[in-house]
Every structure is written in C-alpha cells, then in structure tokens.
Chain A
C-alpha cells in the first residue's frame, strides 16, 4: 500500500493564480482531511470529508474548495492564491471519525505564493 500520496511536493504560485493540490489514499478510508501548517503553528483543519460526495468546512476554509467524487481522491482547490496561503498542506485519512481512529498523513505539499 502506498498509503496517502500528495502531489505536487513543492509549488510556487503568483498572486491570483489557481491550482489544485492532489491527494489520494489506497486504504479504503471513509474519512479524509486537509490541513495547513504554518511555521511554529499547529495543524489547522481546512476541510474534511466523511465519504464520497460529502464534504464540510473545518476551522480555516476561506479561499479553498474541495470535492470528493471517489473514496480514494480528495483534491483541494485554491482559486485566487494569496500570500497568506503560503504554507505546508497535509492531506490525511482515517477509517472512522477521529475517536479511536488515528489519522494517516501524506508527505505534504509546500506552497509559496509570491
């Protein structure tokens, strides 16, 4: 099993550009999450999904969109990139809700917006 994979690993965007961060998992997990991690800060939940076709906002959803058309994939879309979105983005998945279910994280995407 590859676990949770993310592409790209690094990306530099100009202000106002758009991009999609890809995330896929092959563990047949129902739950998937997107976090951002700023230097010296904890992970902040952006969006999460409890299954194909079902998504919900996390703590910091502004400026982002998600979709979940399959169990395996959970892409994160940035429509109009801003410098405040410079961060490391982690995708994670779990079998069930957080309770008793550890989350498995992807390797991260390091995004810089200039």
Chain B
C-alpha cells in the first residue's frame, strides 16, 4: 500500500520562506513529484526528484532522501500568488498523491 503524509495547512508572511515536508511509505518508488493546485483549478507540475539531493528551480526547490522516505518543497520569497495547495506524489509508474498542504500567504 501507499502511505503519504503532508501537513494539512501552513501560513506564512509575504517574502518569507516556507518548507513543506512529505514523508512516504510505498511499495515501489521511482521518484517524487510536487504539484501546485490553486483553489478550484487543476494541479500543475512544479518539480520531479529521482535522485537524493536538492533540485532548485527559481524560487522553488525540492529535496529528496530516498533512504529516509522524505521530501520537502521549499518556497522562497513568498508571494501572494503562492497561496495554493501543494501536492506530493510518489511515482510508482502510477502516481499516488498525498492529501496536499494548503499554504496561505499573508501580507
């Protein structure tokens, strides 16, 4: 079975940094995706990690430790438009999604 855990909600101030953790226990693992989903909209791709370490893409970075079953998404220089749900998804040829972390950015 697949067990993927993320915090339900996080709140941060504009310009700050927020780290969203994701832990997983899955029967298979090829890699880990992060998707962003604004309220009422479809998920959109943010990042994909297959090897241990940090992948940086502009203001967003994603980290993976396969041995620990752990990933995090780091959002830097937060903007109001970053208020959204962030979904962690384990890739085992099919995707298994966590419940998502709702991030609220306050002025």
The chain A residues found within 8 Å of chain B, CB to CB, are 33, 35, 40-45, 48, 58-59, 90, 97-100, 102-108
Chain B interface category by residue count: 20 to 34
Segment of B11-19, B40-48, B52-60, B74-82 engaged in the interface with chain A: B40-48
Residue of A nearest to B93 (CB): A97
Give chain B's interface residues, CB within 8 Å of chain A: 4, 8, 30-31, 33, 41-45, 48, 50, 87, 89, 91-100
Query: How far in angstroms is the closest Cβ of chain A from B93?
Result: 5
Chain A interface, >50% SS class: loop
What are 20 contact pairs spanning A and B, CB under 8 A?
A33-B95, A35-B97, A42-B98, A42-B99, A43-B43, A43-B89, A44-B97, A45-B95, A58-B94, A98-B30, A98-B33, A98-B91, A99-B30, A99-B50, A99-B91, A99-B93, A103-B45, A103-B95, A107-B41, A107-B42
